[in-house]
Structure 1
Amino acid sequence: MNIADFCIKRKVLTLVLTFVMLIGGYVSFQDMSRLEDPEFTIKQALVITPYPGASAGEVQEEVTDRLETALQQMAQLKEIESKSERGLSTITVHIKDQYKQDDLKQVWDELRNKVSDAQSQLPPGAAGSIVQDDFGDVYGVYFVLYGDDYSYAELKEVADMLRKELLLVDDVAKIDIHGNISEAIYIEPKWAVMAKIGLSTDQIIARLSQQNLVRNSGRIQVNSEYIAIDPTGEISSVADFETLTFSSNGRQFRLRDIAHIRRGYVDPPSEMVRYNGHRGVAIGISTVTGGNVVHMGEAIDERLDELRADIPLGMELGTISHQASSVTTAISGFTESLILALVIVIAVLMLFMGLRSGLLIGFILVLTIMGSFIVLEPLGVALERISLGALIIALGMLVDNAIVVVDGILVGMKRGRSAYQSAIDTVKQSATPLLGATAIAIFAFAAIGTTDNNAGEFCRSLFTVICVSLSLSWVTAITVTPLLAVMFFGKKKEAKEGDKEEAEPFSNGFYKLYKGLLKLCIRFKFVTAGLAFAAFVVALIGFGSVKQSFFPPSTRPQYMVDFWLPQGTHINETSKQVTEAEKWLMEQEGVTNVSSVIGQGALRFMLSYAPEMPNTSYAQIFVDVEDSDYITDLIERGDAHFLEKFPDAHAFGVRFELGPGGKGKIQAQFSGSDPNVLRDLAQQASAVFEAHPNSKAIYTDWRERVKLLRPQLADERAILLGIDKKEIASAIKASFEGQQVGIYREGDLLLPIVIQAEADDRSRASQLEQVHIWSPVANQRIPLSQVISGMEIVHDDEIMMRLDRKQVITAFCDPIDGTANSLLMELKEDVEAIPLPDGYTLSWQGEYKDSREAQESLAQGIPMFFLLMILTTVALFNSVRQPLVIWLCVPLSLIGVAAGLLIFDEPFSFMAILGFLSLSGMLIKNAIVMLDELNAQLEKGSDRYDAIINSAASRLLPVAMAASTTALGMLPLFFDSFFASMAVTIVFGLLVATVLTTVLVPVFYAILYRVRRPR
């Protein structure tokens, strides 16, 4: 039975199912999770290994290299990137793209096993390695608790209370607090007194290190009970430290007699956080996997409102990022664009096809969208930038099948058939070709659905939405559409026999003009084809002037300022200069809030943001603005101001990115063995960058060399006094930076006990030679000057980088204006002209590498799906020549693409590539519709020449309508920075593709079948 006949005869069932689809679609739409941008898996983990006191070179050779050797045995490994710095090894493990999120847990378990096995090979003094596999967690709600009238301890206490309460909110995974400056118990020995009484620092350390340790005293049986024994004697207050007793030469001394004891904040702190100039602590909240970030954000806001009474007066919460509000705004904007596109499409349909036809097809469009939501929701597709954009892109294509069916029914009725018979005949003739055309349109998008790269994962919902919605559009076109057409058009006047105008619906003036043009083109078919291919050559030449890019910057009303001071700068100096930068930013028009993290990057509060590793010379400022339109001017003026105000700093504004990628868009990476040669090569590349007027943010990842004060140990004297390097290092650390010697327990707090010289003694480098070291031979404290032969100041590498176990250094650069690729093309030749010694190589990283990997990953799937498209066309026509007619037109769509991108000055981005691939599917789909009608007329006995002309006229309206609805429906995307290049590609390519379909398909058919104009 014909499916249309079944649906028309089962009218009530069809209408009930239609109603259920509408209601179910609305419910599914409400239940779908919301995101600002689609998720992609961060396939990275960190292996962090402290090695206190070791130089960057020692860390690299003794820790990093041994761990890398163990890790490279993993088959899942894509690459290993390592950073060796003074006292710390950080290895970033990148996993191959084909491993999905569900696979990573097993991969991380294997990673931990490899790291654990390598621990025995690490040198003495190296701490245990820590594996962080939650590096990609996103803290969608991120705020700062601040209050100048409160201490860090008080802020932390309230932050802990908030964490405890907010962890109970639905969909909250974890809450991290950072930026707090911890307290410590400081013991500042009176060296002169200790020397006089003959008491060594080791005696103090030995006593304090054992204090407050939890000891197991066991249990004792008392009758039938088994009672635990828990002796007292722990220190319960700072005052208890003062009464600790020490013995020397038969006398006892209290700690307060030989040292100053105080409770204070760790100085220097490891990081600081400020909000609008107020010091505070930052709180980040992440969502459980599969959770709804909007619902979680709203629930957190409600709970915070309830907790306001528990937050002391004068403490405030400032927001750095609130994904729930960002998502709501983004979804609202895209929903408005979707509704606008829907209205445009329906209006176009009503204008060109009449009120009834337009409303009918418009209803089918809404039904298809609602039905798509029913399928998309259980598939895990969220409402986000890509999926909603995909719906807008699909709108025009979703009506194509319905247009063909409705137009066929109307044409049949004009030729004298009933609405019922026309519906059955149209579906019978069109169902298979439309299915093939729909499959081809889906195949055109399919490559992105099989791409494992982050860019592919980011855009995957584009394919899912297109696949589901287009498939459903075919189903509704051959089921619901015929029924509604019979209901809507059943009473329309049918053509009477002998009514020529009604029986020949394509005989009016417009169609006569089109037929005349088509006959002229077929008469001069080789000239027409030659002109088309000449235009294609011109387009190819013009395409060379089209800009290239990866993903566009975000329109988020917030940007970053990266603030770098010379490597080795004290964090307090970094904080001081950043304070001045904050003041200037807060005075600027359009700026609403300024928050900063000093000493490291922030938590990952959006997926495309990559936090900077800890560095005392680094700070990151987040600037909130009223509207994203302010950002370009603020960055330009800010960069100029920072350059003038902070001559020693590298401070520059950075926009957030849409999609995978990051800062340092242009990266010239040199590899080799000699650090000095690598530095020289990187400096030469940086000089090339500096010379270009459109470059900014120029630096290398090794940063500057730092000063190193190196006391020269006099070995013989040290041996005579019983002093070794370890004791010297311990004494110096205790005298200046401070040495942790124990733990003080206070409730759930564990405060470090730190021995440190008094403020006057540790504030001057000149005091270094006066550091006293206990000599067990002399039984007294000996000044450092007696065991060293002198002091040496050297410059040393504090940071050393490796990639896949090869030493590398990278020079970074960003464009001031325009795309990174355009700037790279201007810099590439000069950088590649730098002479490289034997064994040294240059490679381009950054956006160039990301874009290339994404395109290569995409390209792997293209041949298979294009083959499927070709085979589908061959199967539809059981011919080679007719598919060849279609495929000759496909590359010619580049004419419109090149023209559109050049006119609108849009780059050929990754999204534009996807648009170009999808364009081929749209073109082929329309061509199939036309050739199918041509074959139908040939089967009825028409002359081949007449069949070409009449079939082209018959399908002119459906093809033109399909193109116009798709093009006009995408107009809202012209104003979205992410989809603009894709929209331009499709719209302009489709305009040319329409001409190709309505003119060149008949012309190529005439050429391949050697059709001549009848005399």
Structure 2
Amino acid sequence: MNIAQFFIERRVTTLVLSIVMLGAGLLAYQGLSRLEDPEFTIKEALVITSYPGASAAEVEEEVTDRLEKSIQKMGQLKFLESKSDRGLSTLTVTIKDKYDKTTLPQVWDELRRKVGDVQSELPPGTGTSLVVDDYGDVYGIFVAITGDGYSYAEIKDVVDMFRRELQLVKDVAKIDTYGERTEAIYVELNRDRMSQLGLSPNVIISELKHKNLVTDSGRVKVGSKFITLNPTGGIKSVEQFGAIVISEQISLAGFQLGDSGATQGSRQIHLRDVARIWRGYVEPQDIKIRYDGMPAIGLGISTVLGGNVVAMGTALQQRVDELNTQIPVGITAGMVSMQSEAVETAIKGFVISLLEAVTIVIVVLLFFMGMRSGILIGSVLVLTIAGSFIFLSPMQVALERISLGALIIALGMLVDNAIVVVDGVLVRMQKGEDTKQAAIEVVKQTAIPLLGATVIAILAFAAIGTSDDSTGEFCRSLYQVVLVSLLLSWVTAVTITPLLCVMFLKPPKEGAELKDPYAGGFFTSYKGLLNACIRMKTVIIVVVVALFVSALWGFQFVEQSFFPPSTRPQFMVDLWLPQGTHIDETQKMVESVEGYIKKQKGVTHTTSLIGQGGLRFLLTYQPEKLNSAYAQLLVDVDDPEKLDSLMANIEIHLQENYPDVLGYASKFQLGPGSTGLIQARLSGPDANVLRELAGQVKTILYADADSKAIRTDWRQRVKVVRPIVAEVQANLNGIEKQDIASALLEGFQGRQVGVYREGDLLLPIILRAEDVNRSNIESINNLQIWSSVARTMIPLRQVVTSFETMFEDEIIMRRDRKRTITVFADPIAGQATELFARVRPQIEAIDLPVGYELEWGGEYEDSGNAQEGLAGGIPAFTLIMVLITIMLFNSLRQSLIIWLVVPLALIGITLGLLSTNQPFGFMAILGSLSLMGMLIKNAVVLIDEINLQRGMGKELISAIVDSGVSRIRPVALAASTTALGMIPLLFDAFFVAMAVTIIAGLMFATLLTMIVVPVLYATFYQAKAV
């Protein structure tokens, strides 16, 4: 008893199992998590270390280098990048591809140990290094809270309430704020009064540092118990700061102190006598956010791993609606990014595309195979899709762009096996065989060849399923869906399909004249063509080779790319002001640009992120690190078709009106990738030489009319003022370099001298001079500094002879401990590969000094890494496919025939991509690999039929021709359903190149397969045409 007979004779059990599988599949579908794009692990962590007062070079030498030495000992490290700013070291640690989200936590633990090991070696004044291992977290819901006419504090209260209440919503993982201001206690000293009183700032600093410390007062044993001692006396309000006694050693005759109430002979001086104390916000604000032209506070909300984004978004919106009744009228939440809505829209779109594809496939089957056969195969197809969801659920495959696209790609292949079985049964029935016996015999003959062909088709996708890099992880669900659905299609083809054939296919009426199933005009025409081609087999082979060589030549004209841009109705405008620009000036420029953008037709909202990129609201979004000269505008539009024109208009406006600003617009990317499609990395020891080399690269890029956004990551050098200390006068006054630095800090920015505890808040206490114009550098001449010898304040100019102005690097970038400057550029139009091909020879021709090197990053590197990830698995899986074909037929010649057909797909691929002007990108590469599996499957089915007919005693030429005739319908149907089923993907920006590759390659190669395979078989086995 074979497998078909087993299920045919257990009709009730088979039907019940089918119904159960259909119902369970629908339930599994409802339970699958939803995403817009598949998740991939960002294998990066940040190590952030502050070193206040140090220049970028000092940070590099004294902090960054020591941390790098320790971290580079990690065997898991892929590469290490660092950014040394004034007073701040930021290291980006990238881990090797083989580590995934399950093993990364252990890697981050080791990273913390390596960072901890070097802390004792860092210079005094360095802050404790912070390891940020959640850098890749995605805040899919990003809102901006605004309130026209409300104070920042009032808006902040609403944000705090939202944050507290929304954290309780199901599937919410984490909520973070963006652009939140830090409150501070300011103590502004009256230097003149302090000088009159002979008070040193150090006395005040000491009092402020120790007055609000939490200290251990111990415990005392009382009887059998310990009683904790906890004295009062801490500062409980801002007003109490003024009452701090800062001196009890001075007797004043005839001098009355302001608010203290002290009179002649008083020996107490309070802080309020010499300082203005007030509560405000830290200035300047590091990060700002604006929404539709109004100041805002951003709120980012992430979903738990594996959570349902759509369900979470719905529950979140419901809770927000409830909370809106509790907040003041006029405070609103603007949506910067609402992933749940985007996911719901994307899923609906893909489900519609899937239903359209299923409908197309079924209509094709109905047209070519008849009503009963078409409905039968269509039913098996629906059952296979539903059953696939059952197995995809425990594999944690979500419904997203790649997985749903994979189902559409697999549709034609899913019906292949059922078509072969049904077609075989129909042919046998038309020859007079009993339906049941026909079904049993067809499955008996084809089960193993179909299984082998199915496994080969799956293996064609296996390289992407085993690739460790981020691109492989991004596309992994493609392989998982194909694996499950194709295997299940084989199972349903040999179990349920035979039973449905017996139940629904009508045998010819008894006594009716039996017709030749291949007597129709289509079959006779093909038979005549095939005989003619076999007679002229040498000519046919020469023509096919010529076509293949022409395709190879023509492929050089096909555009190359990595991943296409997104059609998301939102784009970015990046603004780079001259390095060192104050954030307030950056904001003024942003406000001006906002005004222009808001007037553009089609723009619905603008979000301005000033001083830093936003929270990572998309997995493929790469936020820029902290820089006061940087801003990014997120522009929402009502129609994605308007993106290109709006972006072009904005770029022209920026060039014409802001010549000193580097401004450019860009779309979001689909799939992993780098910021800056063209990247040239120059490494070497000397900063001046690196800047000179980078200048040469920029000159080459500027000379190309299609390049834009040309910049370096070192930015411009900034102006630095260095006071030249008069050592003799400084020594005579007991003043050291640190005292001068403190005086300058207190005079302008302010110096943190302690913290004030208020509930769960720790507010910095900032000490600064009261009477200084902080926005005017000339005020430096009026600064005063405490002389420990004279016991009074003296003008800073008494110990500073002059001021030296110079320029220095404010940013120093390194890669793997080598100074590295990166030049970025993007194409204005067309593919980045075209621009890269033009500038690469010129840039590589630059004469690099000894010790300096050039590396290419950007799309070139990303694409290379992705292809390298694929290439690692392709040889092994190709070998397995070759072995399977050999084992199926136990013949090297027949296996060779199959593999000679595979390259012919290039003819159709080249023709298709050139005629549609589509690039050959990563998804097109995947399409080519899948095409290989489809072609091999068709060839396997055809050669198996030839061997079967030869085994029945037919002459070789008759077996070849008759096999071609008997297999032309199932092969053509399989190719047609696959190609036509992919029509919906032609309208998807992400899949269009893959769809064109498969449609054009499959249709052309299938035509050649039905000619070339018989011709090669006849050639290899020396068959002579009739």
Q: TM-score, normalization: structure 2?
A: 0.97
Which residue of 1 is the match for residue 261 of structure 2?
none
Query: What is the alpha-carbon distance in structure 2 between the residues aligned to residue 761 and residue 630 of structure 1?
Result: 47
% identical aligned pairs: 57
Q: 1:756: how far off?
A: 1.4
Q: Deviations over 1:553-572 (max 9, x none)?
A: 11111111111101100000
In terms of mean alpha carbon deviation, does 183-192 or 95-104 score higher? 183-192
**Partner secondary structure for residue 16 of structure 1:** helix
Match of 1:252 in 2: 268
| Whole-angstrom CA distance in 2 between matches of 1:492 and 1:5 | 22
Moved more, 334-343 or 303-312: 303-312
Q: Which of 270, 275, 279 is the matching residue for 2:286?
A: 270
- Corresponding letter in the other structure for 2:370: G
Question: What secondary structure is seen at the aligned counterpart in 2 of 1:556?
Answer: coil
Alignment match, 1:4: 4
How big is the shift at 1:222? 5.3
Other structure's SS at 2:710 match: strand
Q: CA deviation at 1:230?
A: 3.0
SS in 2 for 1:604: coil
- Displacement, 1:771? 1.6
- The Cα of 1:491 is off from its aligned counterpart by 4.6
Contact 1:416 1:495 in 2 (8 A): no
Match of 2:153 in 1: 153
Confirm or deny that 1:77 pairs with 2:89.
no
Match of 1:43 in 2: 43
Task: Report Cα offsets for 1:10-42 as digits up to 9, x if no partner.
Answer: 000000000001000000000000000000001
Residue deviations 1:56-112, cap 9 Å, x none?
111111111111100111110100011111101100001000011100010000000
Answer whether contact 1:349 1:357 (CA < 8 A) is retained.
Answer: yes
SS at match of 2:150: coil
Q: 1:163-562 maps to which residues of 2 (within 5 A)?
A: 163-221=163-221, 226-247=226-247, 248-250=249-251, 251-493=267-509, 499=513, 502-562=514-574
Aligned to 2:836: 824
Counterpart position of 1:723: 735
Residue of structure 1 in register with 2:264 after alignment: none
Instruction: Give the partner amino acid of 1:971.
Output: I
**1:885–1:1001 contact (8 Å) kept in structure 2:** yes
3-state DSSP class of the match of 1:38?
coil
Q: Aligned partners of 1:414, 1:139: CA distance in 2, in Å?
A: 62
| Counterpart check, 1:1007 vs 2:1008 | no
| Partner residue in 2 for 1:857 | 869
* C-alpha distance in structure 2 between counterparts of 1:494 and 1:855, whole Å: 60
Select between 229-238 and 589-598 the one with higher mean Cα deviation. Answer: 229-238
SS in 2 for 1:310: coil
User: Matched residues in 1 for 2:938 and 2:639: separation?
Assistant: 42
Which structure 1 segments of 5+ residues have no match?
none
Correspondent of 2:630 among 618, 622, 633: 618
Counterpart of 1:595 (choices 594, 607, 621) is 607
The match for 1:652 is 664
Amino acid in structure 2 at the alignment position of 1:914: L
Instruction: For residue 762 of structure 1, give the secondary structure of its aligned residue in structure 2.
Output: coil
Q: 2-side partners of 1:490 and 1:424: how far apart?
A: 16
Which AA in structure 2 matches 1:683?
Answer: G
Q: CA deviation at 1:782?
A: 2.1
> How far does residue 224 in structure 1 lie from its aligned partner after superposition?
6.3
Of the three residues 939, 942, 945, the one matched with 2:957 is 945
Distance 2:216 2:159 in 1: 33
Letter matched to residue 200 of structure 1: S
Please state whether the residue corresponding to 1:81 is helix, strand or coil. strand
**What root-mean-square deviation, in Å, do the aligned CA atoms of Structure 1 and Structure 2 show?**
1.3
Deviation, 1:1013, is 1.8
2:516 maps to amino acid: E
Q: Does 1:894 align with 2:906?
A: yes
Q: Secondary structure at the match of 2:412?
A: helix
- Is 2:704 the partner of 1:692? yes
Q: Deviations over 1:371-390 (max 9, x none)?
A: 00000011100000000000
Partners of 1:443 and 1:921 within 8 A in 2: yes
Query: 656, 677, 685: which one pairs with 1:665?
Result: 677
- Mapped to 1, the partners of 2:540 and 2:18 lie a distance apart of 47
Give the secondary-structure state (helix, strand or coil) at the position aligned to 2:769. coil
Query: Tell me, what secondary structure is at the counterpart of 2:170?
Result: coil
CA–CA distance in structure 2, aligned partners of residues 987 and 791 of structure 1: 72
Distance 2:229 2:469 in 1: 59
Q: Is 1:804–2:816 an aligned residue pair?
A: yes
Count residues with an aligned counterpart: 1010
Write the deviation string for residues 305-357 of structure 1: whole angstroms up to 9, x where unpaired. Answer: 11112222221101111111110000000000000000000000000111111
- Partner amino acid for 1:1004? L
Q: Which deviates the most, 706-715 or 368-377?
A: 706-715
Deviation at 1:183, TM superposition (A): 2.1
Structure 1 CA distance, aligned partners of 2:635 and 2:773? Answer: 40
Whole-angstrom distance in 2 between the partners of 1:333 and 1:530: 46
CA–CA separation in structure 2 for the residues paired with 1:495 and 1:804: 84
CA distance in 1 between counterparts of 2:244 and 2:872 reads: 72
The 1:623/1:366 distance shift into structure 2, 3 A limit, reads same
- Shift, 1:936, TM fit: 1.0
Letter in 1 for 2:861: K
Q: Which residue is equivalent to 2:1003?
A: 991
Are residues 601 and 495 of structure 1, via their aligned partners in 2, closer, same or farther at CA, if it must alter by over 3 Å? farther
- Code of the residue aligned with 1:391 in structure 2: it is L
Distance in 2 of aligned mates of 1:335 and 1:25: 15
Matched letter for residue 890 of structure 2: N
Aligned residue identity for 1:603:
L
2:763 corresponds to 1:751? yes
The aligned residue for residue 256 of structure 2 is none
Letter matched to residue 249 of structure 1: I
Q: Which amino acid aligns with 2:396?
A: G
Q: How has the CA–CA distance of structure 1 residues 778 and 495 changed in structure 2, closer, same or farther, with 3 Å as cutoff? A: farther
Shift of residue 720, structure 1, vs aligned partner: 2.0
C-alpha separation between the residues in 2 aligned to 1:52 and 1:35? 43
Q: Partners in 2 of 1:495 and 1:631 — Cα distance?
A: 69
Equivalent pair of 1:708/1:796 in contact (CA under 8 Å): yes
CA contact (8 A) 1:416 1:494 kept: no
> Deviation string for 1:668-699 (max 9, x for gaps)?
11111110010011111111111211111110
- Residue 495 of structure 1: how far off its partner (Å): 7.6
Q: Cα gap change, 1:402/1:715 in structure 2, threshold over 3 Å: closer, same or farther?
A: same
Aligned to 2:807: 795
CA distance in 1, matches of 2:162, 2:34: 25
**Bigger Cα displacement from structure 2, 390-399 vs 882-891:** 882-891
8 Å contact 1:741–1:753 — kept in the other structure? yes
Distance 1:495 1:873 in 2: 43
Residue 137 of structure 1 aligns with which residue?
Answer: 137
Distance 1:21 1:204 in 2: 78
Q: For residue 373 of structure 1, give the secondary structure of its aligned residue in structure 2.
A: helix
Shift of 1:238: 2.7
Paired residues of 1:414 and 1:494 also in contact (CA < 8 A): no
Q: Give me the whole-angstrom Cα distance separating, in 2, the residues matched to 1:173 and 1:701.
A: 34
**Residue 103 of structure 1 aligns with which residue?**
103
1:191-227: CA deviations, max 9, x gaps? 1111111111111111111122222223445566644
Letter matched to residue 798 of structure 2: Q
Partners in 2 of 1:742 and 1:880 — Cα distance? 82
Counterparts of 2:508 and 2:710 in 1: how far apart (Å)? 72
Structure 2 match to 1:776: 788
- On the 8 A contact 1:276/1:595 being kept in 2, the answer is yes
C-alpha distance in 1, partners of 2:30/2:649?
Answer: 44
Amino acid at match of 2:25: G
